[in-house]
Amino acid sequence: MNQKSRRLFYKMTILGLKRKFDSLDTNKVIEEVISDSTNVLADLNAEQINSGIRADGSLMPDYSLRSVIQYGKQPGPIRLRETGAWQAGLYARVIGDKIQFASTDPKDAMLVERYGPEIEGLSEKFKNEAMVEKIRPELRNRILNAVGLLMK
């Protein structure tokens, strides 16, 4: 391939790549990645509340002395884990531009009323974990795939 042909080839390749980037609907890609990440978000919500942390970053109230002595609870913040059914039922779903967190467990409404809506959702620490573990790598891969810079 001579110098002129090589320049034309690279120019066409760069223009083709630019066209792919221009036609990429990044909002749609982001929505898809977030929707596909809801299981990870729900798992992180369970992990977070199992650490006694609410979505606003505050700690749950401590177990009472009676709960610790009589019922064998670990001292420290309440973790909302009796049988594990509420945490196992935690889910996240995308509704418009919001992510809704809830649990399929029948105790969900009672627990939200008692401990506040902040028991469902992610604190900044866990949002960052979701970004690092799942969302950012998946978003990167989908964009690179869409423009042809990453082979499937």
Q: Are 114 and 121 in contact (CB under 8 A)?
A: no
Kindly give the confidence (pLDDT) of every residue in the chain, 152 residues in length, as a single tens digit, with 9 standing for 90 and above: 666 555 545 555 777 778 888 888 988 999 999 999 999 999 999 999 999 999 999 999 999 999 999 999 999 999 998 889 999 999 999 998 899 999 999 999 999 999 999 999 999 999 999 999 999 999 999 988 888 776 55
Q: Are 92 and 28 in contact (CB under 8 A)?
A: no
Residue 119 carries which side chain, given as an amino acid letter? I
β-pair partners for 95: 98
Strand, helix or coil for residue 80: coil
Residue 108 carries which side chain, given as an amino acid letter? D
